[in-house]
Structure 1
């Protein structure tokens, strides 16, 4: 909803209630309108749909105590066409109607509307008007050298480095502080001087009728200083494109897709303004053996049929050595064994686990002696599970 809607629309009239109506009366009026004009009860009726939307819009304001107070204050200030542009009053001939879009820039969904709908009535006027009686100056009054833009880079890490943490040099070709003028934009031996128009404030005031508006100073572009003799290297901007190398610390456990922020390592601000930030996007190369699920590492290890049946002590690799896991007799394929504390180290110093999935390997070919032994084993193995399956087959045959 735009800020102009709050001024131009009478939400009380939409709901059919008096301005002094209680919160319960407002709710009852809305429910009745919503029920009578709901699109499900009026299929194919565009007028009913418009009435339903208007009622919902009105109740979104009047049904909220804080928004209702702001709405009433704003309507009281701008009500009945009391504001006019020019010397004549609202009721005098020749008076030109005051256009609300002059205040809100004609926007219906821009930053001004978001500020009005979210920050509230007082914040709206403190940010638009300055120089009024006792009113706080808007954000423009604090203007100065502009902050530099943020810079993004991408780094590919080996799997082990991402898990353990690593410091790597990162070479960037991006705007940096000019070494000749050290960022102030002035020729060596000279200094920027205070802007004679805004006197260093970075903003100027413009009067429009009863109001005073603050806007960035056009003489210094809101910086507050003027460079008369520009630096020959950066042409007065304070920054140049150059190659620089930074040492970036990637913490242990950094994940693929994570973003590392280095404050103040981005593009320098114009003429000595604060630098932006550097955001490093992390890409982790897959490992041949290990996978990762959160703070746990995963590993699939093949075991023979005999090892699964008889049990064995299995040596498995980790990122910092090897551990021995006990495979109990009769272990099925797909069982997961856990090596505690052999995963990714968390920020609190605790570590995840290594999850080892056992994969029973069935040989494609066996020797005659092995086949004979398997046949003997099969003859001695009770087919309990198969009997249960065959019973189900007979049931549905």
Structure 2
């Protein structure tokens, strides 16, 4: 109501906070596992080094706004009411710049390249936002700057797939190892581990290595899930072919329970 009755508010126009900035940062799965320190380079505004953010030519002084007479407000009479509005020429400051800074042309800011250190915590996920307070754009004189929001994107890994704190991978093994059993050395993110493959392991069998997955932000460690698939040789030499043919001659249905069960289901369907 103060504006309608011609009473000017004592409170001046609010100083606007600086805008926030966004930076997309790609990291590896290994960096997300162990944590990392990354240096990011971005362009941002900062107070002009010549005029120190005033927008005025060094050595000059601001002049009283001729539009509002230095009050920062303009009053309009509408019938019985007097309305006060912020002066459009000086934006409520009551002063104007007559001699502009030759470097920033009166804006008070200059564009610079800045390097910042970003700490990547262990267990960070794609889409996580790291906030660097005060590293955004500067605000109006006397106002706080904005923040820098660093968005994390984890690059696709050639071996592991991630689901939260769980890691999955597929490992090929030969037919003899699947049939006879074997002990494999599997590379986890924090080093090699031994995995025992029992005799008769089938394609699709999943083994779980507890505590070998990704860490969470609160310190919990997920599991590593290893899916086996049996690789059949594409080319055979004469000796290998001879041995496999001998094996085929000794095959019995009870040695292949999955195949036998499938044939029985097929027979029931046809019946």
Please give the TM-score of this superposition, normalised by the length of structure 2: 0.77
Gaps of 5+ in 2: none
Task: Answer yes or no: is 1:300 the counterpart of 2:170.
Answer: yes
Match in the other structure for 1:280: 150
Task: Answer yes or no: is 1:323 the counterpart of 2:193.
Answer: yes
Match in the other structure for 1:374: 247
Task: Answer yes or no: is 1:166 the counterpart of 2:36.
Answer: yes
Q: Against the structure 1 CA distance between its residues 368 and 281, is the aligned structure 2 distance closer, same or farther, given a 3 Å change threshold? A: same
Q: Against the structure 1 CA distance between its residues 284 and 389, is the aligned structure 2 distance closer, same or farther, given a 3 Å change threshold? A: closer
Q: Against the structure 1 CA distance between its residues 169 and 224, is the aligned structure 2 distance closer, same or farther, given a 3 Å change threshold? A: farther
CA RMSD after TM alignment: 3.5
Residue 251 of structure 2 aligns to a residue whose secondary structure is: helix
Contact 1:145/1:223, CA 8 A, preserved across alignment: no
Q: Against the structure 1 CA distance between its residues 336 and 131, is the aligned structure 2 distance closer, same or farther, given a 3 Å change threshold? A: same
More helix by percentage: 1
Q: Against the structure 1 CA distance between its residues 280 and 377, is the aligned structure 2 distance closer, same or farther, given a 3 Å change threshold? A: farther
CA distance in 2, matches of 1:387, 1:179: 82
Residue 217 of structure 2 aligns to a residue whose secondary structure is: coil
Task: Answer yes or no: is 1:348 the counterpart of 2:221.
Answer: no
1:107-163: CA deviations, max 9, x gaps? Answer: xxxxxxxxxxxxxxxxxxxxxx54589xxx7xx956333333332333332332233
Q: Which has the higher contact order (CA 8 A, sep 6+)?
A: 2
1:30-109 pair list within 5 angstroms: none
Match in the other structure for 1:262: 132
Please give the TM-score of this superposition, normalised by the length of structure 1: 0.55
1:168-207 pair list within 5 angstroms: 168-189=38-59, 197=68
Match in the other structure for 1:154: 24
Q: Against the structure 1 CA distance between its residues 303 and 142, is the aligned structure 2 distance closer, same or farther, given a 3 Å change threshold? A: farther
CA distance in 2, matches of 1:232, 1:374: 89
Contact 1:183/1:270, CA 8 A, preserved across alignment: no
CA distance in 2, matches of 1:308, 1:247: 49
Q: Against the structure 1 CA distance between its residues 295 and 191, is the aligned structure 2 distance closer, same or farther, given a 3 Å change threshold? A: farther
Contact 2:130/2:150, CA 8 A, preserved across alignment: yes
1:217-243: CA deviations, max 9, x gaps? Answer: 324214576445443322232211222
Gaps of 5+ in 1: 1-128
Residue 378 of structure 1 aligns to a residue whose secondary structure is: coil
Deviation at 1:182, TM superposition (A): 2.7
**Number of equivalences:** 263
Match in the other structure for 2:202: 332
CA distance in 2, matches of 1:339, 1:214: 72
CA distance in 1, matches of 2:82, 2:223: 65
Q: Against the structure 1 CA distance between its residues 352 and 182, is the aligned structure 2 distance closer, same or farther, given a 3 Å change threshold? A: farther
Match in the other structure for 1:17: none
CA distance in 2, matches of 1:295, 1:161: 14
